[in-house]
Structure 1
C-alpha cells in the first residue's frame, strides 16, 4: 500500500514537470531566466576563413573535384609581376609537361591538401612539389636534394627524416610532407610572410635573414620584391604563382587538367613481418611500379618491419593485401635479410658465407670492386631457408655501409742495411716485428748482415717502392765498388799522369831509356782516350746513349 502511494506521487510529479516547459499562457507571470538563450538562425556568426581552413567546418556543397577544393583554399597574396607572366607562358606552352606532372601528382596531392587544411595553411602550397620536383618523389638534384619536397641531407635530418642504406625518408610521401609543412610553418612564423617563407625554403633561412639585414641597414624595404637574391629564388615564387593561376583558370591558358577525385588515393597498411617488395606488390595485386611509386623511400628489394611499420597501397587494394598476407606462409615472405660485418671482410668471403656469388652480392649492396667491407657495416644477404625471424630494429635503424680499398700483398725481398735487425726492418716498413720474424724464420731482434735478403709481404705499391729501393741500393754499391780502384790501378794512373804531363820516368831522368812499364802505360793512356772518344758513337748507334 505504501509503495503504491509512492509510485502514484512520483508519477504525478513527472507529469507536472513534463507539462511545465510547454506552457505558453499569457497569464503566466514574467521572470528572469538564468539559462543561456538559444540563438536563432539569424543570430549565428559567420564562419571565418580560418575556421573553414581548419577542417572543423565543412562546406555544404562538396567540391566537384580536388582542383576545386584547392582553389577554395587559396589564401596567399597574389604576386603580379612580369616574372609571373613569363612563367605562365613557359608552363602554358608545354601542355604535355603539365599533363605528365599533374597525372603523377594524383597519387599524393590529396594527402597534402588534407594536411594543409588540418593545419590551416594555404592550399596553394600543395602545388609547391610541381616547382620542386614535378611531383617526382625519386627526384635527386645536383646538390643532393631528394624527394618531391627536395630536402637536403642535413635539413632532412633536422626534421627527423631518416637516411640510411635501407631507406631515405626524404622520399617518403607521408614523412616528407610532414617535414615540409613543419618547415614552411616554421619559416612563416619567423618571417610573417608566405613569400619570404618560400624564398627561405628555396634559398635558406640564413640567406634571407642576411638579405633583410642588409636592406634594413640601407634603409630599403624588406619584402620579397625588395630583397636582392639569386635568379633561382627570384623566379621561385613567380613559378608557384603561375601554376596557381593555371590551376585556378585552366581555360584561360588553354590547359586541360586531368580529373582528380576529391578522395584519398592511398591507404596505410601495417607491416609486421619482413617482406620482399615484389611479394608485397603481388599480395596487394598492384603493379610493381605503382607500389614503388607509393613507397619510394625503400632503397632495397626488401621491407623490414622494424624500420617500416607501414606501407602505402591504393585505397581499394589495402583489404586485398591484408587478406593475402594472412593466408601466406611467413617463411615465404622475405628472401633477403640484413647482416652486420663483425670485422673487415672482402666481398668474396661474405658472399661465400651466404651461398651467393661475389658479383651478385656486390651488385645488391653497391660495393665497387677491390673494396673491403668495414667492420660494423650492414649488408643485404640471402635469407637462409626456414629463417623467419625479423631483423632487429637497432640493425635496421642504424644500417650503414662503409668500405675501404682492399689491400693486395706481394712477396718482396729487401736488403738489410748496416746494423739492421729484423725489428728495425719491420719498423721501416710499418710492420709488426713478430710477423716479419715469422716470414724470415728468425727472432725479432736477430742481427742482420749488410745486404742480407729479408722477405716482406707488402701492398703492391709499397712493394714496388721497396723493390726500387733495393735495386737502387745494389746499384749504389756497384758504383761504389767500381769507383774504388785497386792498388795496381792506382800505380798505373800515377804513371799515366806523369806521362801525360811530359814527366820522364826515374830512369829517363837519369839519361837512360824509358822503362817498358812507362811506355806501356803511356800507350794504354793514349789508347784509353781514343776509346773514350769512340764509345759515344758506338753507344749512339745502338740508340741507347746515356748522355
Structure 2
C-alpha cells in the first residue's frame, strides 16, 4: 500500500484537533498552537457508524432529486443514506469543529482550486482536504501522515515533497496541493472514476485494484457491500460528497454566520541558507508568527542549510520593503557551521565539548535549551568562528597517534 490508510478513520485521523474523513477509526488535526509544532499529541474522534459492511452505502433506487448533476458541482454527486448520515454528523456531533474548518477553508480554497484546474482536475476535489485535515497545514495522523493533504513520507517524496529534519513540504499548502493534484491525476488515469480515485487516495491504489479484481466490479458502491475494504475507505467517498454539499451551501444545512478567513496571499523572495525567520520578519516589518504561518514547512525556525538560496513566502505587498531592509539587517559575515548526527548516549554538552564549540550558540542555532534531550539520529548544527578549523576531538590510540582530528589532552 503506497499511501497510508488516510485519516478518515474516525473521521479520519484528524490530527490536532479534528481532521480527516472517516469511518470509525481515528482522526486527528493539530494546530501549531495546540501541539508545539514538532511533537503533536494525536487526538481521536469516533464516528457513530456500525460495523456492517453494507452500511447504507449501497445505491438504492434514488429519487430524481437525489442524483445531483448540477453545474455547481464538477465531481459526481450522489445522495444516499451514508451521505445523509455524514451531513447529520457535521450538523450535530462535530458542529463546532466543522464551523472551524469552514472558516479556515476560504484561506486556502481559492489557490487550491487554481492548482487543481491547472492540472485539469475537478475543482471540487478541494474538499478532500477538508475531510483529510480540516485545512490544517499542521495536521498529523497516527499513521504519520502530515499536512492538509495527509501524505505519508514515501508518497510525499514520490510526488516531489522534501521531508527531512529541516523541512517538511507536506506542510506547505502550495507544494502539497501540487503533489496531491499529481497523485489524484495518476489515480484517475488508472481508474477513470473519481469515486475509485478518491478511495485509492485513502487506501492506496493497489488495495482498490485488488478489490476490483476480487469482486469483478468497477462500481465503488458495490465494492462497499463487501468486507475487503476497510470501513474508513468505504466512508471516504460519502464523506467527500457530504463535505462538498455542505461547504458549497452551508446555510442550506444550518451553518449560518460562519466567519471565513481572508484568502491566503503572499510574495516570494530568495534568502541565504540558515536565515532566521525572525530576521525575515524584521525586514518585512511584520511578526514572526506571520512569517511562520506563511512558511509552515520550515521546522527549525531557519531556512535549511546546504542550499545557497531558499525561496520564502512573505506577506503580499512587502517585497519592496523586504529588499530594502534585508541587506542591512543581515550579519556582516555568514556563520560557518558543520552538521553532527547524534549517536546513542550523546548529550548536548558532550557534543559541544567534542567539537570545541560554545554551548550557547549551539543551543541557539538549533533552537534548543540546556535541558533539551536530543534523540539518536537527530541532526545538529555546530557553529564555529570563521577562522577556526572544524575538526572533532578524538581519543588517542595506544601509540599516542590520533585516529583523526586532534588528540585529547
Q: Same fold (TM over 0.5)?
A: yes
- Structure 2's unaligned 5+ residue stretches are 1-69, 389-396, 401-409
Do residues 314 (structure 1) and 315 (structure 2) align?
A: yes
TM-score by length of 2: 0.66
Deviations 1:461-496 (A, max 9, x none): xxxxxxxxxxxxxxxxxxxxxxxxxxxxxxxxxxxx
1:112 deviation in Å?
0.8
SS at structure 2 position matched to 1:90: helix
Aligned length: 311
Alignment-derived partner of residue 75 in structure 2: 76
Do residues 356 (structure 1) and 359 (structure 2) align?
A: yes
Do residues 225 (structure 1) and 225 (structure 2) align?
A: no
Q: Write the mapping of 1:136-175 to structure 2, written as runs, cut at 5 A.
A: 136-175=136-175
Cα distance change, pair 281–359 in 1 and its aligned pair in 2 (3 A): closer
Q: Distance in 1 between matches of 2:156 and 2:322?
A: 31
Deviations 1:494-515 (A, max 9, x none): xxxxxxxxxxxxxxxxxxxxxx
77-86 vs 356-365, which moves further: 356-365
Contact kept in structure 1, 2:281 and 2:288, CA below 8 Å: yes
1:235 deviation in Å?
1.3
SS at structure 2 position matched to 1:268: strand
Q: Write the mapping of 1:96-495 to structure 2, written as runs, cut at 5 A.
A: 96-216=96-216, 221-227=217-223, 228=226, 229-256=229-256, 257-259=258-260, 265-272=265-272, 274-304=274-304, 306=307, 309-331=310-332, 338-341=337-340, 347-352=348-353, 353-357=356-360, 360=363, 364=368, 378-382=379-383, 384=385
Q: Distance in 1 between matches of 2:328 and 2:302?
A: 20
Q: Distance in 1 between matches of 2:369 and 2:121?
A: 42
- Structure 1's unaligned 5+ residue stretches are 1-70, 388-433, 439-547
Q: Distance in 1 between matches of 2:342 and 2:183?
A: 41
1:247 deviation in Å?
2.3
SS at structure 2 position matched to 1:331: coil
Which structure features the higher share of helix residues?
Answer: 1
TM-score by length of 1: 0.51
- The runs of at least 4 consecutive aligned structure 1 residues that moved more than 6 Å come to 342-345, 365-368
Q: Which has the higher contact order (CA 8 A, sep 6+)?
A: 2
Q: Distance in 1 between matches of 2:362 and 2:341?
A: 21
Alignment-derived partner of residue 483 in structure 1: none
Contact kept in structure 2, 1:264 and 1:315, CA below 8 Å: no
Q: Which has the larger radius of gyration?
A: 1
Deviations 1:102-124 (A, max 9, x none): 33334432221111122221111
